[in-house]
Structure 1
Amino acid sequence: MKQHVKTTLLVLAFGLASMPALAQDTTTDTTPDTATTDTTVTTQNDDNGTDWGWLGLLGLAGLAGLRRPAPTVVHRDQTAPPR
């Protein structure tokens, strides 16, 4: 049961870490704009709509099963006579 909880928390932590950070800007600009310029910004996007962050997240989730297994604990009762 503990193993499932740890794995679930790990996946949730990585899932929340991939979410974008949002901030509010409450400042106002009181300086008047005296000059206007026309600028055109062209961005090049070559990923064809693929969000590669999710692929990385799935890869990290797949590595969660490669952790070392818990050591096997053997308890021997010293008060009982040997068989």
Structure 2
Amino acid sequence: MNVKKTLLVLALAAAPMPALAQDTNDTASTDTTTQTTTTTTETRDRDGMDWGWLGLLGLAGLAGLSRPKHTAVHTTTTTNHTPR
């Protein structure tokens, strides 16, 4: 049970970490140099909603749905028959 909670906490702690990528573009140097400049404008339309928080709320809601421990209940019934 503690292992599951620990893994859940670690997964939620690592979720907001940014992903980093490295570009190792090693090319042989030449005598000719070409320089190109490109300007890109990116527009995101989220309508003011940060969907990451909604996902975290959904995961938090699922945390309480883990299976409870099974409790065995034993019932003994005795019937007494009396002759008429």
TM-score by length of 2: 0.54
Larger helix percent: 1
- The answer for the alignment partner of 2:41 in structure 1 is 42
Question: Structure 2 regions of 5+ residues with no counterpart?
Answer: 75-84
Counterpart CA distance in 2 for 1:7 and 1:51 is 26
Q: Quote the offset at 1:10 in angstroms.
A: 1.1
Q: Secondary structure at the match of 2:68?
A: coil
Q: Which has the higher contact order (CA 8 A, sep 6+)?
A: 1
Counterpart CA distance in 2 for 1:22 and 1:38 is 23
Where in structure 2 are the equivalents of 1:1-83 lying within 5 Å? 2=1, 6-23=4-21, 31=29, 34-47=33-46, 50-74=49-73
Counterpart CA distance in 1 for 2:70 and 2:16 is 33
Counterpart CA distance in 1 for 2:60 and 2:11 is 11
Larger Rg: 2
Q: Quote the offset at 1:63 in angstroms.
A: 0.8
Residue-pair matches, total: 73
Q: Quote the offset at 1:56 in angstroms.
A: 0.3
Q: Secondary structure at the match of 1:63?
A: helix
Question: Structure 1 regions of 5+ residues with no counterpart?
Answer: 76-83
- Tell me: CA distance 1:11–1:39, structure 2 relative to 1, closer, same or farther (3 Å): same
| Matched letter for residue 42 of structure 1 | T
